[in-house]
Amino acid sequence: MAPDLARQRLKALAEPIRLQLLEALGRGERCVCELTEELGLAQSKLSFHLKVLKEAGLISAREDGRWVYYRLEPAALEHLRAWLGELAAGCTTLAAPCC
């Protein structure tokens, strides 16, 4: 995965409210009205955080009438996991002896 995309996604996840949103969406697709109530956030504040997660590719939205439903993007989470796995695999490499 491109490091720039990983950085963008990690930056999006650095905000505790956005982590709460991901955890809520980890239980399945949710209407914005449910998320507002569950997280106790004003809709404007929630919309900002949803926009950041959407721009990072971590979530997607679908409209049904006047409601908007959000869900996690499993492929984005998998790519992030794979990138972290690459880092983990490389961190066990020992340094070459110094001169």
Domains of the chain: 3-86 (1.10.10.10)
**How do residues 2-33 score in pLDDT, each as one tens digit?**
778 888 999 999 999 999 999 999 999 999 99
Tokens 């969406």 correspond to 25
* SS3 call for 98: coil
Q: Which of 65, 56, 58 lies closest to 24, judged by CA? A: 58
Mean pLDDT for all residues in the chain: 92
Q: What percent of the chain has pLDDT over 70?
A: 99
- pLDDT at position 99: 77
Q: How many CA atoms lie within 13 A of 37 on its CB side?
A: 5
Query: Could you tell me if residue 23 is left (phi over 0), alpha (psi between -120 and 50 degrees) or otherwise beta?
Result: alpha
Do 59 and 70 form a contact (C-beta atoms < 8 A)? yes
- pLDDT at position 1: 54
